[in-house]
Amino acid sequence: MVSPAGHHNEAQRLFTLKRYTLGDQTQDPELDRITRLTATLCQMPIGLITLVDDTHAWCKSGIGSATASIPRDDAFCTHTIATADLLEVPDAAQDPRFAHLPLVVEPPEIRFYAGVPLIAHNGQAIGSLCVMDMRPRQLTPLQRELLSQLANNVMLQLECHLASRGQHAISQAGIGIWEMDIPSRDTYWNDVIYQLYGIGENDDINMFRHLNVYVDEDKARLQQALDAAADHQRAFSDIYQLVTPKGLERWVRITGNPVMTNGHVAQLIGTMIDVTPRKRIETQLLKQQALEHAIMRAQASFIDERDNTQALNLLLDDLLALTDSEYGFIGEVLRDQQQAPYLVAHAITDITWDAASRDFYAQNAPSGMIFSNLDTLFGHAMRHEEVVIANQPDQDPRRGGLPPGHPPLNAFLGVPIHLHGHCIAMIGLANRPGGYDTALVDFLAPLLGSIGQLVNSLRVHRQQRDDQNAIARLSMVAKKTSNGVVITDTRGRIEWINEGFTRLSGYTLDDAKGKTPGELLQGSQTDPDTLARISKALANKQGFEEELLNYRQDGSPYWVHISCNPLPESENGSEGFIAIQSDISDSKAHEEALYKAANIDELTGLANRRLVKEKLARYCLEATDDQPINVHVMNLDDFKRLNELLGYQAGNDLLVSVARRLATLTDCDGVCGRLSGDEFAVVTRSAITASSLQRCIHETLYLAGQPIKLSTCVGTTYYPHDNGDPDTLIRHAYQALYQAKAAGPSQQAVYNPDEEQSTRNRQKQRSAIHAGLAKGEFQLFYQPQVNLQSQEVIGVEALIRWQHPQEGLLSPAAFLPLVEGTDLEYDLGEWVIEAALKQQTLWQQQSIDLPTSVNISPRHLLHPGFLPRLQSLLDAYPHIESRQLSLEILESATFDDMQAALAVLSACHTLGIDVALDDFGTGYSSLAYFRRLPVQLIKVDRDFVRDMLSSQDDRAIVESIIFLARKFSRPVLAEGVETMAHASALLALGCHLAQGYGIARPMPAVEIPTWLAQWQAQRCGH
């Protein structure tokens, strides 16, 4: 066996092999041509190109029987690379070096081998070109020569592969390679340079031959470098700027080296590398350095604080240099009284163009030029507080006009500067080559911050000057003002007071010095919550404003408004507070009067309806299911009667006494108020029940020494169980109150949603009644009234009926209760009166003269509009004499409000209208009232008349009424006369006038003429 080459040479050889093949052991088809030619010229069946690494010999190209890879020690080429020349083995089976090799003893049983080492340029053998045969033989001298030449060709091919790979690597690395022939100046370059120039291989490159692609300054420098290399053999390396056909700027580093032939420069070769990113970084770094220098200069000016205006002028110069702008300004953004922004330019480029503009600049620039026109590019930046970039200002819709002669504006940048969330300054720059962009704004951001600080410093200095002037003025004002001024130390001890404080409080400086204001001025009614807030503010060294009740030296109270602020720390380190006290006693008194007028019931001193709702809303915010709010509404039973009996003043005294009792119940937790008349509300978070309210009211009251017992009905609801707003809660409590009153005196009820539904149903029925009136669904039936003694018809009573579209003809009992207490009560009453007058008109046309009585409800009678409307109806029917119409009122109507009833009834009598007192005996009229009533007829209630034949009590009542009427000279008409026996009994008692089913049932108006004829016939026949 042959030992491998030495370690040092072997390592170099293996490195050389790796450099050519990169470890690729696959066969190379491009080498097959050489291998085939070799086998053919040497007349051998097998031709191989083998390469040898550290363990194997492998076939890179082969003709004939070839093994891809065999161990290095079993290969002929291992011996070949150890020689410097051709290795020829005529008969391997006879050669002890090779006789044992597998290729020899096993198929293909090689006998002949001839190989030439493949030697690289560094002398290292990496493999061999060889031929083999299965029989012994020898090469001819020519074949040996050819084999050596072809081995050289293999290395040339491998060198070509290596060069190609190197060229590819250079291209991938972005390295441009160029060559220039000196005599012709023709130039060759690789793809990289085409890419750097931004052209294709087929483009016209004439301009590039003449270096026209480079900027003028660099074109001249490059031409000089090329000439020096060609003429003086001087190599060069420098950076040049070029512009591609598409306008892209690039910087490239170009190297050039002369190639000598026969003592002359025949060629220049060199490289070109794109250094644009590095150049831009360098440019950016230079700008950054300039920016940092500008910032440092601005900060130095800020710290110096001697002339910030001059510092802004220097900053403007820096801005123009950093951005390559032609002119610009730095201004402060202020606001006028309408909060519209305007600009005060503290630094501005002098771009004056004529005498007028120069005079204007000289007069205004030193103190700050003011610009207030917002319809401009910079005005848009101020108004919207946003960056404005206009690279085509003449086409920008935000532009404004320029004065005649103004230098051209080709590009504009306006940047507002914010500090603490407010726009305080702005820069404007103009005419930068290539225009402006957001990247420039980002670059300038640190400098803009410094500008903001400088502008703010200007403001602070201006404010300090104003404050100093103001302090001087305030010092004089503090001494002379009518307000009290107090200065204390940090512990609140008084150090100084002015004359105004002495006038307000009565205390002099000698009295007050060393004491706290609280020690001097606080009293029994001073609000402790306000004092707690003041103490907390003073402890935290905070200012405050409060209204406080103080006491003068003589003990009299007065209200003050206090505005207190901490004093700044002085040079000796002392701090304190200054407080200004204004006397607001008059305004407080007026405020209290207004509050009472708006919120307090004048009679009782309780909360009124408005204040009750306000406090109820506040309580509801704090209510929970465990601690609900109780809302009670109560109404005194029979208070109107007591008011009439005892007099107006006594009634008021009763209400005041009730109010005191209720206030005692709620003085700790809750509110009570008077809603109207004798209606009160109690809102409480405590367990005040309806029963406890009733017990409170039921306790005996004394008026003028006379005991009086009161009772009340109470309606209640609970929040949040009843989850409504204050208006709804009070309305629900009212609904519960109505339910309680319906059950009688001294009752109580809790709001029930079912009752709410019942209320909705009643409202629906009332709407139907209202619609029925509009549609003419109502009509009058008439019941005749006769004189039992003379059998004469003395008149008719008009009785309303409703021809319901679904339910048919309805009597008054089916719908009149629904309208009680509503506007429909008045509407129906007026309709009845007018319908009766219309019917009388029709009867007159039939020669029928029938006085007609109509029923008027108590509320309708006492309504303020009753008499004016009655007069207007009489005026509308002048042919109807007023005596033909009479009114029937319930006895209870006169007693509920006797004074008002007397006034209305007297007015009716003046109009000539008779009034009948209906259902007499069911009310509670006293004899005094009865005597005063201006009524012309007493009608006995039908219930007494109906049962008088069977009930001695009812007969006695009827007899008493007839007797009473006779004593007061009032005629009597009995209702409910159902039989002739009733008629006879009434005649026997002296009652001649009657009506009832025994005489005639109520009938439609069209039936009256027939009935009259029949009655007259019966009368004549009788």
Looking up residue 941, the CATH number of its domain turns out to be 3.20.20.450
Q: Is residue 765 part of a domain?
A: no
Q: What is the pLDDT of residue 198?
A: 80
Q: Is the pLDDT of residue 892 over 60?
A: no
Q: Is residue 768 part of a domain?
A: no
CA distances in angstroms from 675 to 604, 607, 742, 743, listed in the order given: 11, 8, 20, 22
Are 912 and 841 part of one and the same domain? yes
Are 417 and 286 part of one and the same domain? yes
Q: What is the pLDDT of residue 421?
A: 82
Are 25 and 51 part of one and the same domain? yes
Radius of gyration of the chain (CA): 62
Are 330 and 435 part of one and the same domain? yes
pLDDT band for position 361 (cuts 50, 70, 90): confident
Dist. CA 954–CA 865, nearest whole Å = 38
Are 604 and 731 part of one and the same domain? yes
DSSP class of residue 406? Answer: P
Are 858 and 714 part of one and the same domain? no
pLDDT band for position 128 (cuts 50, 70, 90): very high
Q: Please compute the mean of the pLDDT values over residues 632-646 and round it to a whole number.
A: 80
Angle, CA of 386, 388 and 389, to the nearest 5°: 145
Angle, helix 648-665 to helix 639-646, in steps of 10 degrees: 130
Q: Is residue 808 part of a domain?
A: no
Q: Where are the alpha helices (DSSP H) in 796-857?
A: 816-819, 823-845
Domain holding 238: CATH number? 3.30.450.20
Dist. CA 382–CA 379, nearest whole Å = 5
At 268, which amino acid appears? L
Domain holding 11: CATH number? 3.30.450.40
Q: Is residue 161 part of a domain?
A: yes
Are 643 and 558 part of one and the same domain? no
53: left (phi over 0), alpha (psi -120 to 50) or beta: beta
What does the block give as tokens for 202? 């087929």
Place of tokens 């009332």: 766
Pairing of strands 112-119, 125-133: antiparallel
Does residue 684 contact residue 703 with C-beta atoms inside 8 Å? no
Q: Is the pLDDT of residue 7 over 50?
A: no
Dist. CA 614–CA 599, nearest whole Å = 10
Does residue 283 contact residue 239 with C-beta atoms inside 8 Å? no
Are 504 and 356 part of one and the same domain? no
Q: 563, exposed or middle or buried, with CB in 10 Å at 0-12, 13-18, 19+? A: middle
In terms of C-beta distances under 8 Å and separation of at least 24 residues, what long-range contacts does 16-22 make, across chains too? 16/120, 16/122, 16/124, 16/126, 17/51, 17/52, 17/53, 17/124, 17/126, 17/127, 19/162, 20/120, 20/126, 20/158, 20/161, 20/162, 21/51, 21/60
Instruction: Provide, rounded to the nearest whole percent, the portion of the chain with pLDDT above 70.
Output: 89
Are 924 and 907 part of one and the same domain? yes
If DSSP codes are grouped into helix, strand and coil, which group holds residue 721? coil
pLDDT band for position 422 (cuts 50, 70, 90): confident
At 362, which amino acid appears? A
What does the block give as tokens for 632? 């009670």
What does the block give as tokens for 186? 């023709």
Dist. CA 833–CA 864, nearest whole Å = 17
Domain holding 653: CATH number? 3.30.70.270
Q: What is the pLDDT of residue 201?
A: 67
If DSSP codes are grouped into helix, strand and coil, which group holds residue 632? strand
In 210-275 the beta strands, taken as DSSP E runs, fall at 236-243, 249-261, 264-274
pLDDT in tens, 585-617: 888 787 777 777 778 888 998 989 999 999 898
Does residue 373 contact residue 400 with C-beta atoms inside 8 Å? yes
What does the block give as tokens for 475? 């010092």
Which residues contact residue 201 at a Cβ distance below 8 angstroms, ignoring those fewer than 6 apart?
Answer: 191, 194
The closest alpha carbon to 893, from 903, 885, 878, 907, belongs to 903
The closest alpha carbon to 579, from 536, 543, 528, belongs to 543
Q: What is the pLDDT of residue 162?
A: 78
Dist. CA 511–CA 655, nearest whole Å = 51
Q: Is residue 711 part of a domain?
A: yes
Q: Is residue 230 part of a domain?
A: yes
Dist. CA 481–CA 500, nearest whole Å = 6
More confident residue, 743 or 1013: 1013
Partnered with residue 335 across adjacent β-strands are 341
More confident residue, 707 or 756: 707
Last residue of a domain, one of 465, 493, 515: 465
Q: What is the pLDDT of residue 809?
A: 93
Place of tokens 């007493």: 938
Q: Is residue 761 part of a domain?
A: no
Element (H, E) at 707: strand 706-708
Q: Please compute the mean of the pLDDT values over residues 470-497 and round it to a whole number.
A: 77
Provide the residue range defining the domain that includes 853. 779-800+821-1021
More confident residue, 19 or 281: 19
Are 825 and 927 part of one and the same domain? yes
**C-alpha dihedral sign at 416, 417, 423, 424:** negative
What does the block give as tokens for 622? 């704090």
Tell me if the bond preceding 707 is cis, omega within 30° of 0: no
Q: What is the pLDDT of residue 292?
A: 66
pTM of the model: 0.38
Last residue of a domain, one of 566, 589, 612: 589
Q: Is the pLDDT of residue 802 over 90?
A: yes
Are 444 and 305 part of one and the same domain? yes
More confident residue, 163 or 702: 702
The closest alpha carbon to 65, from 107, 10, 101, 121, belongs to 107
What does the block give as tokens for 296? 């440092």
Place of tokens 């509407």: 827
pLDDT band for position 780 (cuts 50, 70, 90): very high
Element (H, E) at 299: helix 276-304
Are 944 and 796 part of one and the same domain? yes
Q: Please compute the mean of the pLDDT values over residues 752-765 and round it to a whole number.
A: 72
> Rounded mean pLDDT of the chain?
84
420: left (phi over 0), alpha (psi -120 to 50) or beta: left
pLDDT band for position 405 (cuts 50, 70, 90): confident
Q: Is residue 1007 part of a domain?
A: yes
Dist. CA 653–CA 646, nearest whole Å = 10
The number of distinct structural domains making up the chain is: 6
Q: Please compute the mean of the pLDDT values over residues 229-243 and round it to a whole number.
A: 90
Last residue of a domain, one of 525, 560, 589: 589
Element (H, E) at 537: helix 528-539
Q: Is the pLDDT of residue 504 over 80?
A: yes
